[in-house]
Amino acid sequence: MSGHDHMEPITTMPVVNLSVNGKPARADIASDVLLVTLLRDNLNLKGTHVGCDTSQCGACTVHVDGRSVKSCTMLALEADGASVTTIEGMAAPDGTLHPIQEAFRAHHGLQCGFCTPGMVMASAALLAKNPRPTERRARLIWGNASKYLWAFLSQQPQLPVISHGQQDHGRGRRQRRRDGSAAS
């Protein structure tokens, strides 16, 4: 019997090649590793957070080939060949914030901040796909983020969003109440 008969079979880890925030990335990973784990543990991109780990909270949202994806629901191997953007890739190279990040900053849209990266990513993907979403559509995408998204939209004169008039109407009613004038 030759020595080769007792050799263990050579197992190799699958390799994933992808682009992350515009830079090529490569990792040897087990086939059950999630995209969020690849980003956080292998690539040290800690801005993508894990909240529920059950595809509900959206804290782990990133863009995969321009689509908003909860990275806790996607295997890293499924992202092979894809272009992934995380919150670290949203600002310009000179540090200028993405307009959605700027809107969150301007409107103090942080709360505890844990979910904010995912909210920014989901909001940016929504607006990239549909610059004039209805409020209902925005709330379907992300209930909490929608109020910041609308705060942002309401300050963009080039984006005449459908429910803009409703917002103005509500603001007018509040103002009249403060002024003591009769509500219409």
Residue ranges in contact with ligand FES by CB under 6 A: 50-53, 55-60, 70, 72
d(CA 40, CA 89): 14
Q: Which CB, 87 or 153, lies closer to ligand FES?
A: 87
Q: Inter-axis angle of helices 145-153 and 99-106, to 10 degrees? A: 100
Write down the least CB distance from residue 68 to ligand FES, Å: 11
Q: Which CB, 57 or 90, lies closer to ligand FES?
A: 57
Q: Which CB, 119 or 127, lies closer to ligand FES?
A: 119
Query: Which of these, 175, 163, 52, 162, lies nearest to 118 by C-alpha position?
Result: 52
Q: Which CB, 118 or 153, lies closer to ligand FES?
A: 118
Closest-approach residue to ligand FES (CB): 72
d(CA 41, CA 74): 15
Task: Confirm if 56 and 64 have CB atoms less than 8 A apart.
Answer: no
Write down the least CB distance from residue 11 to ligand FES, Å: 29
Write down the least CB distance from residue 57 to ligand FES, Å: 3
Residue 104: helix, strand or coil by DSSP? helix
Write down the least CB distance from residue 146 to ligand FES, Å: 17
Residue 121: strand pairing partners: none
